[in-house]
């Protein structure tokens, strides 16, 4: 760019080179080229370039390992904050630092040696010391395995799994706007209500009744609301138990969990919810408990609804069964557990019957809500996504070692 701010303008570049006498004349005396500096770069400059590239690679690796909520620009601890943490919170009796705090994306990393019994005791001790400082409302620390990529030497010396302390800002709340979350949840509720009403449309008796009332011009559709309400509320209760279990663990272990965002589903009305963490759990076991208690409790209440609904369906009179909502047999077959319960309680081979195209099964609203709960809570137990898989496997590994 010949030292110009805008090196893309070829005319300006050639004009500047001509004024500086750096254009080389050809055999006819015409200026045909320009000179290029061939100064050898100093070895120290090469080291700086490679060190910068290595740091960029490590920073990207760390960014992929740690959630983006821990790297908020306006919440990154200052040098003064980390000095207070280093001198007033850490000590050779708890966590003995072996190196100075190193800058990482979103905060600092401190290597050292845990002098206490285990990581739980260390975190509890450091939490008490941090609460007594003037930075307790500014920083958050994590005792985790080194998020930096391991070198070959570290693998050979079994040093790749050594825990470190990572210090970040205190604010780790997701940045999703409240209006966005509320809108998604409202859509989810509408989808659940639509699914509850839609389950009635698979019952030909109810469809014929609706057609007759529309043609008669009566306009009284309150019976649709009365028949779909049990399904709607039973699904909501299943999800409420799921979310209440999350909040119970958060309350027990003294960390904050935000309000859930309901995730809609085109097939079953509800595919679950996303519950954000507003503060950090005290340890991995607590995080694991928080993650699995919701789906497990949801599965239990769903099994209860499924069994109760199928029992009620089996012992209903034909007249009462004719007023029940129904689900397509193909949808029921999508769950081996739910399909097995249907055949166990309503008769073996019922899912194989196809009296009409696709086929449907009349079910009590509790059974339908239980089916939806089994699907959504089973999905919630899956470690979906690369980061989730890594964290899930790390949690299982660490908990099995307790």
pLDDT value of residue 278:
84
pLDDT value of residue 160:
55
Distance of CA 39 to the CA centre of its chain: 52
* pLDDT at residue 254 greater than cutoff 50: yes
Name which residue leads in pLDDT, 361 or 54. Answer: 361
Q: Which of 65-69, 120-124, 280-284, 394-398 has the highest mean pLDDT?
A: 120-124
pLDDT value of residue 364:
95
Q: How confident is the model at residue 176 (pLDDT cuts 50, 70, 90)?
A: confident
- Structure token pair of residue 87: 């001198």
The predicted model gives 50-70 an average pLDDT of: 66
pLDDT-wise least confident of 40-54, 118-132, 147-161: 40-54
The predicted model gives 237-262 an average pLDDT of: 93
- Structure token pair of residue 295: 């789906």
Q: What is the mean pLDDT of the chain?
A: 80
The fraction of the chain above a pLDDT of 70, given in percent, is 74
pTM over 0.85, yes/no:
no
Distance of CA 212 to the CA centre of its chain: 48
| CA nearest to 97, candidates 76, 118, 82, 81 | 82
| CA nearest to 241, candidates 267, 273, 212 | 273
pLDDT value of residue 400:
44
pLDDT-wise least confident of 209-223, 320-334, 349-363: 349-363
Give dist(CA 374, CA 366) in Å, integer: 12
Give dist(CA 260, CA 184) in Å, integer: 11
Q: How confident is the model at residue 402 (pLDDT cuts 50, 70, 90)?
A: very low
């Amino acid at each position: 760019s010949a030292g110009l701010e805008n090196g893309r303008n070829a005319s300006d570049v050639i004009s500047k080179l001509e004024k500086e006498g750096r254009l080389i004349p050809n055999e006819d005396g015409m200026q045909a080229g320009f000179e290029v500096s061939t100064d050898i770069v100093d070895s120290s400059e090469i080291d700086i370039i490679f060190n910068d590239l290595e740091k960029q690679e490590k920073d990207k690796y760390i960014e992929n390992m740690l959630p983006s909520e821990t790297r908020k620009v306006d919440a990154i601890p200052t040098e003064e904050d980390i000095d207070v943490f280093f001198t007033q919170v850490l000590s050779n009796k708890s966590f003995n630092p072996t190196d100075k705090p190193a800058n990482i994306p979103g905060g600092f990393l401190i290597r050292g040696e845990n002098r206490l019994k285990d990581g739980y005791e260390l975190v509890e001790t450091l939490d008490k010391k941090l609460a007594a400082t003037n930075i307790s409302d500014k920083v958050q620390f994590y005792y985790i395995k080194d998020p930096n990529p391991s070198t070959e030497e570290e693998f050979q010396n079994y040093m790749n799994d050594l825990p470190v302390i990572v210090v970040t800002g205190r604010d780790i709340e997701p940045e999703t706007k409240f209006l966005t979350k509320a809108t998604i949840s409202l859509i989810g509720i509408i989808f659940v209500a639509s699914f509850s009403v839609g389950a009635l449309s698979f019952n030909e008796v109810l469809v014929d009744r609706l057609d007759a009332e529309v043609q008669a011009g009566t306009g009284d559709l309150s019976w649709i609301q009365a028949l779909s309400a049990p399904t709607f509320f039973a699904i909501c209760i299943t999800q409420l138990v799921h979310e209440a279990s999350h909040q119970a663990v958060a309350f027990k272990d003294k960390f904050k969990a935000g309000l859930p965002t309901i995730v809609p589903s085109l097939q079953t009305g509800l595919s679950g919810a996303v519950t954000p963490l507003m503060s950090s759990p005290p340890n991995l076991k607590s995080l694991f408990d928080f993650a699995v208690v919701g789906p497990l409790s949801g599965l239990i209440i769903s099994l209860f609804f499924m069994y109760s609904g199928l029992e009620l369906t089996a012992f209903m009179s034909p007249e009462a069964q004719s007023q029940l909502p129904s689900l397509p047999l193909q949808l029921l077959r999508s769950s081996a557990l739910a399909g097995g319960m249907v055949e166990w309680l309503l008769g073996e081979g019922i899912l194989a019957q196809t009296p009409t195209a696709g086929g449907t099964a009349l079910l009590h609203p509790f059974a339908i809500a239980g089916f939806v709960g089994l699907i959504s809570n089973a999905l919630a137990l899956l470690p979906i996504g690369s980061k989730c898989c890594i964290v899930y496997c790390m949690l299982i590994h660490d908990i099995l070692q307790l």
